[in-house]
Amino acid sequence: MEAARTWLIAHQDTMRDELIALCNLNSSSDNLAGLATVETFLEEYFSPLGLPIQKLPLPVFAVQDDYGNAALQSTTHALRWDWVGEQATPDRRLLLTIHYDTVYGKTDPFQRCVSYEVEGEARLRGPGVIDAKGGIVVMRWALMAAMRFLKPSSLNMTVILTPDEEIGSPASTSLWKEIAPDYQFAMLYEPTLADGAFVHTRKGTGTYTLIVRGKAAHSGRNFHQGKNAIVHASRVAIQIDALNNVRPGVTFNVGRIRGGDAVNVVPDMCVVRVNVRVNDDDDRIWAEKKIQQVVDLFQLSEVDHSIALHGGIHSAPKTVNKPTEHWMRELETVAAVLGQPVTWRASGGASDGNKLAGFGVPNLDTFGPEGDALHSDKEWVRVASLPTKAALSLAMIDRFHTERECLASM
């Protein structure tokens, strides 16, 4: 593995340049044209592997728009490559996956990468450099190294890149459910934490949409005939926010409110979106009950307004079970050989690892590079972590295909 590590480090500048090119292409979850452009980029980017690509169509999914209307939304494709060597063990298969969408809209001012240094350490700031386009670069170079330093004919694995993780994977969840029985282990390329720690447990998460309706009126001529939906939606939002700090670790983030149009009209509609995070299934039940109680109380007390509740907790908490613990120990073993000690921490963020774990696939989900400030215009990656994480990923791919005791231990 030392030869592979040296080879990967020698390509660090190339990895950085490829990451810049990828991150400078906007692929926010709702930018279908941008996602399609990145699809084309990724098809070419992975072509040196010599694997046929499958562009898997994903189903449309229901959303509530900012005007309170139900709508169907589409996305682009999940991209799939299968590496099945002639000498591969057929019932022993590895899944490598990450998403290619980001949170940065096409009108967001944060669109380009900038290279800089902090105390001599090379960094790159840009949209998606760690969440999760940096993970794509790490994965691709680990696979390139596998062609060169492992025995390709013995490998049995699938690569899948998805376009909708940042919005909760509403389209690709059905894909995960369908393919889950085919895999004994999955590696996901979300970023490690800023100090390089891996994530072992994750909170469950979900988004609620509340649509409050009132009555429109002219704000001067008939003001008192109007029923202001924004004011009442704000009261609902405050009640939901008050649920914070009631149950340890359960959070309610009132993340967006949209309502009204012309300022001389009493607004008759307002949409409130709330993100919820929970530690376990008991928390999920409690959070769902509390939000429903807020809605029910509003319905009883505000007879001139209506409220509709949509959404829910769509990703269950990710916990450590026996199969996951096995792979944690395997990672620690291969990392020690590379001189990359592994530490573990919990995270409030969710990933597709939550969903895969829920469908029975043990997984570790932080094989991406090191950095911080994701989901902000300060998002950055430690450039030197691109080749080192690729080397670690390669070692784990090799470990999966060579150790023979894991299935019996589960």
Residue 126: name the closest of 21, 9, 8, 38 by CA: 21
**Which of 210, 211, 228 has the alpha carbon at shortest distance from 219?**
228
CA angle (295 as vertex; 291, 297 as ends), nearest 5: 115
Does residue 267 register a pLDDT over 70?
yes
Residue 251: per-residue pLDDT: 98
Q: What is the pLDDT of residues 222-251, one digit of tens each?
A: 999 999 999 999 999 999 999 999 999 999
> CB of 163 within 8 A of CB of 101?
yes
Q: Do domains 2-203+317-409 and 204-315 have the same CATH topology?
A: no
24-44 mean pLDDT = 99
Percent of the chain predicted with pLDDT > 70? 98
> What pLDDT does 316 receive?
93
Q: Specify the CATH number of the domain 204-315.
A: 3.30.70.360
Per-residue pLDDT of 192-227, as tens digits, reads: 998 999 999 999 999 999 999 999 999 999 999 999
User: Cis omega before residue 216 (within 30°)?
Assistant: no
**Spans of all domains in the chain:** 2-203+317-409, 204-315
* Residue 400 and residue 388 in contact, taking contact as beta carbons nearer than 8 Å: no
Summarize pLDDT for 160-179 with one digit per residue, the tens.
999 999 999 999 999 999 99
Band (pLDDT 50/70/90 cuts) for residue 404 is low
103-135, pLDDT tens digit by residue? 999 999 999 999 999 999 999 999 999 999 999
Please check the confidence at residue 3 and state whether its pLDDT lies above 90.
yes
Is the pLDDT assigned to residue 1 strictly greater than 90? no
> In this predicted structure, what is the pLDDT of residue 406?
45
Mean pLDDT of 141-166: 98
Mean pLDDT of 151-157: 96
pLDDT of 410 above 50: no
Taking only the tens place, the pLDDT of each residue in 82-96 is 999 999 998 899 999
* 301-315 per-position pLDDT tens digit: 887 899 999 999 999
pLDDT at 402 over 80: yes
Question: Residues 396, 375: contact at Cβ < 8 Å?
Answer: no
Q: What is the average pLDDT across 278-303?
A: 94
Average pLDDT over residues 45-49: 98
329 has a pLDDT exceeding 70: yes
Give which of 127, 124, 125 is closest to 109, Cα–Cα: 127
CA distance 206 to 201: 16
The class level of CATH for 2-203+317-409 reads alpha beta
Q: pLDDT for 357-398, tens place per residue?
A: 999 999 999 999 999 999 999 999 999 999 999 999 999 999
**Whole-angstrom Cα Rg for the chain:** 23
What is the reported pLDDT for 302? 80
Over the chain, what is the mean pLDDT?
96
Q: Choose among 354, 345, 288: nearest CA to 317.
A: 354
- Against a cut of 0.85, is the pTM above it? yes
Q: What is the mean pLDDT of residues 294-299?
A: 93
Chain CA centroid to CA 343, Å: 21
How do beta strands 269-278 and 251-259 pair? antiparallel
Give residue 54's pLDDT band: very low, low, confident or very high (50, 70, 90).
Answer: very high
- Most confident of the following: 295-299, 314-318, 377-381: 377-381
Cα torsion through 119, 124, 127, 132, rounded to 10? -100
